[in-house]
Amino acid sequence: MTTEVDLLTPLKHYWGYAGFRPLQERIVHSLLAGHDIAVVMPTGGGKSLCYQMPALILGRTAVVISPLISLMQDQAAQLDQMGVPAAVLNSTLAPAEQSRVMRQAVQGVYRLLYLSPERLARQDTIHWLSQVPIAFFAIDEAHCISEWGHEFRPEYRQLSSLRQHFPDRPIAAFTASATRRVRHDILEQLRLREPDKYIASFHRPNLRYLVKQCDARMQNRLLVSALRHHEGDNVIIYAPTIARVEETVAFLAQHRIRAVPYHGKMDAPVRQRNQERWMSDEVPVLVGTLAFGLGINKPSVRAVIHLALPKSIEQYYQEAGRAGRDGLPADCALLWQNRDAGLLAYFTEQLSDPDEKERSWQRYHAIRHFVEAGRCRHRQICTHFGETPKWEVCGMCDVCAAVPDWMECSALPERAVKKRKRMSTVATPSRTSAAPVDPDLVEHMREWRRAVAKRSGVPAYVVMHDTTLDEVCRRRPTNLNELLEVSGIGIRKAELYGREIFSALESFG
């Protein structure tokens, strides 16, 4: 049946894209055929479409298990703007709202229903779900189920009961960062039946990996230099402790660089507000602990800067991978100090479980080798995940190519301007032209997008991705047909925002 299904029409109608990214179409066909699947696809590869489209076509509900509330809410908001009925069920909803969602789910109202693993573990949830017309289960961040994974979560282990409670429903496991051992563990824990396996390349050619060992003073100089170079860009800075987050925000304020903090000890409303200010482009820099970012889907992050050694290559790959999800060039800088390695070793020694300690030591040695080996960073990452690249030199890391000016602490303001113009003309799969974009018009349309996002209570990228906004500025559409030619604009979005877009473009002159 799946070979006869027209996938390009709904792809254009709802998502606004003329073609699929690598592997997406094959994954959709597998789910339409009722197969279990295991997908390893790097951040930004388009995993969500792989389970959203089959649910839409099948006309039943895909239950998506996700570990982070913000991710669920953002995806549901995006689907709503596309005209796809979706809902989130979690503890932040009022009891009456939870009851309404559960009632409508049983009636088959939703194509996508997002739950946390904790919610799924409840016995009453299993009873209620048995009444919902379920197409399949999609497990996001599936590496969390494995003790060999860098983000093992005990509540994920309970997902193994899905096969027992829903033996005839397909299960789809998705992850962005899983070694061979973790992949095997995912198949075993979820009891997948002869799954179709899809493993995309771990090579992210648009990311420039930059690693430098430094002392505290040099680290501060490099940080300011990097942010001057990326002035006006969206940047994430990862700090190792809550105290360091606050210190870094204060330090940047002294250098007139606007940044907001994000960590677990903040009041939840303040933390949420800071995230919203960053997501809506109100503040360009966010400084967070490792708690920040799981499920963050902001495509236009131009740099991710680590101020300490991550505990594993998987962790680094996932966090650095939040840069450049729009396919445009981005910097991933790891500025580490010798004391970082000592702290990682100290915490590993404190572990009492011998198996856990062994796993921790393996991760420690792998990340030390990554930063100290002096070998191509991209190649090291690929081989860590079991991929053997055919190339030897990537041209996009500090080992294979010259380091950027800002890393020599010599970046000048005009260089930042040149950099931005150069980035705006890079051709990517979602761009139809490499013609330059008027930067004033782009800023004008970003202001419009910010206002719409604030009015709708959603992140700016939910209204429109940067690549789509750039193409709108380049094409300057004047009617719906022209607007629908823009990649990323589906029919529902054109109907929602068409008049406003034309008006905003016209007001620019």
Each residue's pLDDT tens digit, 151-195: 788 888 889 899 999 999 999 999 988 889 999 999 999 999 999
pLDDT at 415 over 70: no
- As to burial, measured by CB atoms within 10 angstroms (0-12 exposed, 13-18 middle, 19+ buried), residue 323 is buried
Closest CA to 84 of 172, 166, 173, 16: 16
Q: Is 334 helix (H, G, I), strand (E, B) or coil?
A: strand
| Strand 112-115, strand 61-65: pairing | parallel
Distance CA 395, CA 259 (A): 31
Distance from chain centroid for Cα 31: 22
Instruction: Quote the DSSP letter at residue 238.
Output: E
Choice among 102-116, 251-265, 427-441, 456-470 with the minimum mean pLDDT: 427-441
* pLDDT over 70 percentage in the chain: 93
- Please tell me the number of Cα atoms within 13 Å of 56 on its side-chain side: 23
Quickly count: other Cβ atoms within 10 Å of residue 272's Cβ. 14
Choice among 266-270, 372-376, 394-398 with the minimum mean pLDDT: 266-270
Secondary structure (DSSP) of 76-110: HHHHHHHT--EEEESTTS-HHHHHHHHHHHHTT--
Mean pLDDT of 240-256: 95
Each residue's pLDDT tens digit, 463-491: 998 889 999 999 999 999 999 999 999 99
Closest CA to 2 of 57, 61, 51: 57
Distance CA 451, CA 497 (A): 12
8 A C-beta contact, residue 84 and residue 52: yes
Instruction: Map out the domains of the chain with their CATH numbers.
Output: 2-199 (3.40.50.300), 207-408 (3.40.50.300), 424-508 (1.10.150.80)
8 A C-beta contact, residue 431 and residue 487: yes
8 A C-beta contact, residue 286 and residue 236: yes
Closest CA to 406 of 327, 322, 338, 331: 331
What is the rounded average pLDDT for all residues in the chain?
Answer: 89
pLDDT at 227 over 80: yes
Confidence of residue 428 (pLDDT cuts 50, 70, 90): very low
- As to burial, measured by CB atoms within 10 angstroms (0-12 exposed, 13-18 middle, 19+ buried), residue 328 is buried
The whole-number pLDDT of residue 171 equals 97
Tokens of 220: 């501060």
The whole-number pLDDT of residue 409 equals 61
pLDDT at 410 over 50: no
The whole-number pLDDT of residue 429 equals 35
Confidence of residue 299 (pLDDT cuts 50, 70, 90): confident
8 A C-beta contact, residue 185 and residue 177: no
Q: What is the amino acid identity at position 325? A: R
> Which conformational region is residue 14 in: left (phi greater than 0), alpha (psi within -120 to 50 degrees), or beta?
alpha
Mean pLDDT of 302-331: 93
Closest CA to 223 of 192, 259, 196, 190: 259
Mean pLDDT of 81-110: 93
> In angstroms, how far is the first alpha carbon of the chain from the final one?
51
Helix axes 439-456, 466-475, angle to 10 degrees: 130
Confidence of residue 412 (pLDDT cuts 50, 70, 90): very low
Task: Please list, residue by residue across 215-234, b when 16 or more beta carbons sit within 10 angstroms of its beta carbon and e when fewer do.
Answer: eeeebbebbbbbbbbbeebb
Residue whose pair of structure tokens reads 């150069």 in the numeric block: 422
Closest CA to 63 of 175, 140, 177, 158: 140
Distance CA 469, CA 473 (A): 6
The whole-number pLDDT of residue 291 equals 60
Choice among 80-84, 374-378, 460-464 with the minimum mean pLDDT: 460-464
Closest CA to 461 of 472, 471, 450: 450
